[in-house]
Amino acid sequence: ENTVEIENLHVEVEDEKILNGVDLEISRGEIVALMGPNGSGKSTLAKVLMGHPAYEVTEGEAYYNGENVFELEPDERAELGFFLAFQYPKEITGVTVSNFLRTAINAGLDEDDEIDPVEFQEVLEEKMELLDIEADFANRYVNEGFSGGEKKRMEVLQMAVLQPEIALIDEVDSGLDIDALKVVARGINELTDDDMGTLLITHYQRILDYVEPDRVVVMLDGEIAEKGGPELAERLEDEGYDWVREEAAA
């Protein structure tokens, strides 16, 4: 219950083996940082969990709340509470942040359960307060003239409103300025405290200056090669990934 359990996961892309027996758990309420050199298979793990059609599971399984994740369609995984964060449209002319988010939330609900604008306004205000986003922001047009930081506010707010149980966040920190990075970090910290589980995928340690992970795991050549606490991320920052490779070879 409330834990994604990934066991002995093997994944191929175009007949090439990418993941070679990954074991990993992600629970609601915790932040797991998934680190590793480029090409080690981190994004593949996120994509296969979301049901990306290019990635074939050849062995192993993943369970969440009694469901066999790999037997579910991508939309069923979203209903189960899985969410690939920060994957949202560039610009939507004439649609306000508020209307966009209400449509997004209602898209995942049965018609009878849809949230009306008044009810939604309350939810939105609560989330904006939690994330320290000014009220005017709800009336802006989606991404129109947004700064880097405002785009991240939009995406964090979307995550807050949709309330995923398990958020997969892949390399969100690459290229972000400090303002945007802090917006993202605040979102992850606040929403994870609200019982979301977060898999924070990052090659670099930088975002971990603002988000303290509960656990750090290192992927190497499609396997989990190291596990530890925040100190493991610091060691990687200081020493790089070579020592992980040497220990794995030994």
Residues that bind Mg ion (CB under 5 A): 42-43, 189, 193
**Binding residues for ligand ADP restricted to 53-82, rule: CB under 6 A:** 54
Cα–Cα distances in Å, from 30 out to 26, 57, 194, 195, 217?
A: 7, 26, 10, 8, 13
Could you tell me which stretch among 40-48, 77-85, 95-103, 132-140 binds ligand ADP (CB under 6 A)?
A: 40-48
Q: How many residues are given for the chain? A: 250
Residue 91 · residue 142 · CB < 8 Å: yes
SS3 string of 112-152? HHCCCHHHHHHHHHHHHHHCCCCHHHHHCECCCCCCHHHHH
- Read off the tokens for 165: 């149980």
- Which of these segments, 39-47, 100-108, 159-167, 228-236, binds ligand ADP (CB under 6 A)? 39-47
Minimum CB–partner distance for residue 18 and ligand ADP (Å):
4
Residue 42 touching ligand ADP (CB under 6 A): yes
DSSP strands (E only) in 52-149: 55-64, 67-68, 82-84
Q: Which does 39 bind (CB under 5 to 8 A by kind): ligand ADP, Mg ion, none?
A: ligand ADP
* Interaction between residue 192 and ligand ADP (CB under 6 A): no
From 11-19, 122-130, 134-142, 224-232, give the range in contact with ligand ADP by CB under 6 A: 11-19
Distance separating alpha carbons of residues 161 and 241, to the nearest angstrom: 37
Select the residue interacting with ligand ADP from 17, 21, 39, 240 (CB under 6 A). 39
Return residues touching ligand ADP (CB under 6 A).
13-14, 18, 36, 38-44, 54
